[in-house]
A and B are shown apart, each in its own frame.
Chain A
């Protein structure tokens, strides 16, 4: 370990403690930022000699990385950024926290993935999905796909594990020899009307999408897994990554996708973060029985526009007791009304909960800013 890195680690620990004492979160990201500032080569040094898997994608990064870390446990101690601190600071802090753990599973922000591929020299990269996240930034899906593809071009030695049913990931790894392609039996993709590679309209016909112009989608997959939804897909991808890292028979485990529980006014609430059309569609398709609250905001990272509400199928809500709340509750209420879903509107979460019968747990589907306001 270099002197500079040792100095950096001391400074980072101090900053992390100070941040915790000041009540500014758990200090992980701050500690990491200080570390990288004091020792710019910290990431490379901390990564040296370790076996690393990076996990990235638009949806499900945190829960999938958590699952992967637990699946890798048979190989020995695992270093991971379990708090979802997926930028440079959080990643440096995670590596520094358990420097002797030889196996590493790291969640990486989509825009940071190329940088981390260069800095960490990982063994494998697990790519879950790519779709529009902040909703007025559709163009960026293509931008990210191109950056990922360029980064993999620079690192032919890295093994990629992908969901081949996502045309963007198929495009990212189109020329990448070391790729394991999983299939799940067919799904559609809201942002892939046209081929990510050549812009020709894609043909979407089960069991496969296909580009008639450049052939994207034409490869056979290495394995087809049964998956009812994104949670199962991501779990299958995590198992594949664990297998590739040397775990003989990674167990099937149902993981939770950013779900938190909360007691409010004597009621059990199951909170679920839903941040884009793909995750709303996913959450609605797997709704447990019982009443449902929809909390829709449109600020900052939610995206300021609510047009996407019309891209989601709300028929799974029929038969549930539904209350709509959040800052954009009138947008959502009108939309689900047109979809023929009876509902009430409430000014805030407390009133939404009070409007529902008291004998059942309530599922709350929430935009990011609404979720953060109550779940953290």
Chain B
């Protein structure tokens, strides 16, 4: 292996409640299968964010941890991320991680907290917590992506920002029947925790954007796992349709 990529996990001690560390593991696992070495570098909120990494993974967490994270990133950390996005590094932002990249997100009592303003995105608090399996069709991968959502954020995309996918099950952003956000350098989603584990093709999009050829990557366990979750999500969506029920997103927001 000649090439090596650096994957930074941003503040895992704060934003890592739901197995978010899995995303860096899946990325490096698939990079190695593609013949590229990977170094995973967890960076605590007390340390400066390294400026030269290829991927920055920002995970989900409780609102108190989310606020501590954004406070630590304000200023230099945000500048580092902005520069990384400008040079084509990739940011994977999960749940709370997606919210802090925007202009504003809700604090513990729903009060607005200023985000890092790296994306034209605003989040406010919804009526109830959205918990359960979700699925979406994603133009980015050309496949159905599946995950588990557990949040109370309603996230609006502005300025023609593109979502990651259109919901076939569950709520995602909670508005417009879409989930997440995609730019040239950011993939954000409400599929919480190890979202890349269930969606290896999404991991491969990130690797390809770094110039890694993933055509030779074969991992039967990943394929079987992703296929099973897609099948479960499809049958759950069909069941909901038969009952004439639309997702809570359609009813409430």
Interface set of A (CB-CB < 8 Å, partner B): 135-136, 138-139, 142, 191, 193-194, 199-201, 204, 304-305, 307-311, 330-331, 333-335, 337-339
Contact = CB atoms under 8 A, between A and B. Distances in A.
A9 B20 CA distance: 52
A307 B18 contact: yes
Contacts of B34: none
Interface of B: 13-14, 16-22, 25-26, 29, 45-46, 61-62, 64-65, 67-68, 108, 131-133, 148, 150, 192-194, 197, 221-222, 224-225, 228
A338 B19 contact: no
B150 A305 contact: yes
B17 A138 contact: yes
A333 B225 contact: yes
A200 B14 CA distance: 10
B13 A333 contact: no
Nearest to A340: B29
A136 B222 contact: no
A266 B183 CA distance: 58
A310 B67 CA distance: 24
Nearest to A307: B193
Contacts, number: 89
Contact of B197 (A135, A304, A311, A335): A335
Contacts of A193: 13-14, 16-17, 61-62, 65, 68
Contacts of B16: 193, 311
Given A194-B14, A310-B25, A305 B193 contact: yes
Interface of B is mostly: mixed
Given A136-B150, A138-B18, A194-B64, 9 more contacts: A199-B67, A199-B108, A201-B45, A308-B18, A308-B193, A309-B22, A310-B194, A333-B225, A339-B25
A142 B26 CA distance: 31
A331 B22 CA distance: 12
A339 B22 CA distance: 10
Nearest to A312: B19
B18 A201 contact: no
Nearest to A198: B64
Nearest to A277: B19
**Which of B61, B192, B194 has the most A CB atoms < 10 Å from its CB?**
B194
Contacts of B62: 138-139, 142, 193-194
Contacts of A142: 62
B64 A199 contact: yes
Contacts of B22: 307, 309-310, 335, 338
Contacts of A204: 13
